[in-house]
Structure 1
Amino acid sequence: MSARINPSILSADFVNFERDFNSISNADLIHVDVMDNHFVPNLTFGLPMVARMQQITPKPLDIHLMIESPDRWAPGYAEAGAFSVTFHAEAAESPVKLARTLRSIGARAGLAIKPGTAIDSYLEVLAEFDQILVMTVEPGFGGQSLIEDTLSKVAAVRRKVDAEKLDVWLQVDGGIDETNIERVANLGADTFVAGSAVFKAEDRQAQIDNLRSLAASGIAHRH
């Protein structure tokens, strides 16, 4: 199993996306946080901007929808060519049905869980998703510190994925940096969203390589 590093462009320069995308060209995917100022208290960008991003980078886009009514809006991102579309369990009316719709369009379907949301009821339907995103901070703002209590959910998802031999990526998002990525990987994550940890680095590509190496070490030493 390899480690994937998906820099979050929430930490990028919003008027220089093309330049900033080029500065992270060794990333596995580009993580795009779509916020509607309703589900979370912040506003970023919507479908037209995401469609344009798709045109200026060869990298696959990993869309994270922090929005209300994803059942209505998420399919549009899949239709625009997004590689992966993740929506929130707390906002979706019918998570499994929406995941199946996204997959039928051709995107990977992801389910995101906020720090205060229990994972148990979703463990039984993991196979319906291509990715589970355990939020390790409250969604809505970049630059936050990782919430330790969320890591038990990472371990729980990993146990279920391994026990059933599922092809499900386990993503973490929030406060991930070089001080904790190896430990979080060791607990079960394989896909890592890093925002400020990447974009604040003087050499972003070197930092991505460093994070990937640390995560790979954590994965290699799992028990």
Structure 2
Amino acid sequence: MPIVSPSLLAADLFKLGDQIKLIEQTDASYLHVDIMDGHYVPNINFGDKIVGELKQHTALTLDCHIMVNQPEQVIMDVAAAGGDILTFHPETSAHPYRLIQEIQRLGKKAGIAFDPGIALSTYADLLPLVDQVLVMTVSPGFGGQSFLPAMVEKVAAAKQLREDNDYHYDIEVDGGVNADTGQQCVTAGANVLVAGSYVFKGEIAERIESLTRL
């Protein structure tokens, strides 16, 4: 059964408390929090303040996707606020190796994200270190985009690299995930599914259940 990580980017912030309560009654165990700076990606969204407030009100794992330039300070703030998994794009950091070590030194899980245009081989040296590999199945920065089928091959490649080298990372996918595309990703090797519009634009519990059954 895959881990489902509902993305708050698609949530109704005026109903967020009620929506989280619904999620807590399902088999979902993560909440996906997108943090954007308006530079690495065009949008600005969320930050350490909402992470801290979420931490006070839910025991769900806070799966934080950091889409910012120079993520070092942002990541430390999000970690201090209570983020559990901290995933960043290696091309945004001058010292990604060190940043992974710092995240883990704080007792958090460290992840790296791959934009659709970036090959896994670009950051092959980081793969032995990380706890999570996030394969973006859309271009980062906007919700509601269409799934990129070519990324299924990248998921399969991430799984093969993990098996061949005895790496230990989870494989997460984010973007355009629904029951059909989620099944493609799970078959290819993904075990964490981020879903925003699919979950929050329908009956939340039913949509999550359809993903946990994959």
Interval of TM-score (by shorter of Structure 1 and Structure 2): over 0.9
- The residue type paired with residue 105 of structure 1 is L
Partner of 2:192: 191
Q: Check whether the contact 2:2–2:211 (CA below 8 A) recurs between aligned residues.
A: no
In 2, the alpha carbon distance for the partners of 1:181 and 1:150 equals: 12
SS in 2 for 1:144: coil
Using the TM superposition, give the Cα deviation of residue 72 of structure 1 relative to its aligned residue in structure 2, in angstroms: 2.5
Within 1, Cα distance between the matches of 2:184 and 2:98? 34
Q: Following superposition of structure 1 onto structure 2, how do residues 11-26 of structure 1 map, counting pairs within 5 Å?
A: 11-25=10-24, 26=26
Distance 1:90 1:42 in 2: 18
Matched, 1:93 2:128: no
CA deviation digits over 1:192-212, x for unaligned, max 9?
Answer: 10001111122x122212111
Question: Aligned AA for 2:10?
Answer: S
How far apart are residue 92 of structure 1 and its match? Answer: 1.4
- Structure 2 gaps, min length 5: none
Partner of 1:156: 157
Per the alignment, residue 29 of structure 1 pairs with 30
Q: Which residue of 2 aligns with 1:104?
A: 105
Contact 2:3 2:192 in 1 (8 A): yes
Higher relative contact order, chain-length normalized (CA < 8 Å, sep 6+): 2
Match of 1:4 in 2: 3
In structure 1, how many angstroms separate the alpha carbons of the residues matched to 2:91 and 2:149? 21
Instruction: Name the residue aligned to 2:39.
Output: 38
Give, in angstroms, the shift of residue 165 of structure 1.
2.3
SS of aligned partner of 2:141: coil
Q: Is the 8 A contact 1:81 1:107 kept in 2?
A: no
How far apart are 1:188 and its partner, in Å?
1.2
Q: Are residues 1:209 and 2:209 paired? A: yes
Question: 1:167-197 deviations in whole A, cap 9, x for unaligned?
Answer: 2100000001012211111111111100011
Per mean C-alpha deviation after superposition, the further-off stretch among 121-130 and 106-115 is 121-130
Give the 5 Å matches for 1:59-98. Answer: 59-98=60-99
Distance in 2 between the 1:147 and 1:97 partners? 31
Deviations 1:104-142 (A, max 9, x none): 001100101111112113233312100000100011111
1:75 Cα shift? 1.7
TM-score by length of 1: 0.91
- Partner of 1:85, secondary structure, is strand
Q: Report the alpha carbon displacement of residue 166 of structure 1 after superposing the two structures with TM.
A: 2.0
CA distance in 1: counterparts of 2:172 and 2:150, whole angstroms: 16
Is the CA contact 1:18–1:57 (under 8 Å) kept in the aligned structure 2? no
1:90 touches 1:113 (CA, 8 Å); kept in 2? no
C-alpha separation between the residues in 2 aligned to 1:34 and 1:147? 22
Counting only pairs closer than 5 Å after superposition, residues 116-155 of structure 1 correspond to structure 2 as: 116-155=117-156
Question: Is the Cα contact below 8 Å between 1:123 and 1:160 reproduced in 2?
Answer: no
Report the counterpart of residue 174 of structure 1 in structure 2. 175
Superposed structure 1 runs of 4+ greater than 4 Å apart: none
Instruction: Report the Cα distance in structure 2 between the residues aligned to 1:93 and 1:68, rounded to whole angstroms.
Output: 10
1: CA distance between counterparts of 2:60 and 2:29?
A: 7
Amino acid at match of 2:152: L
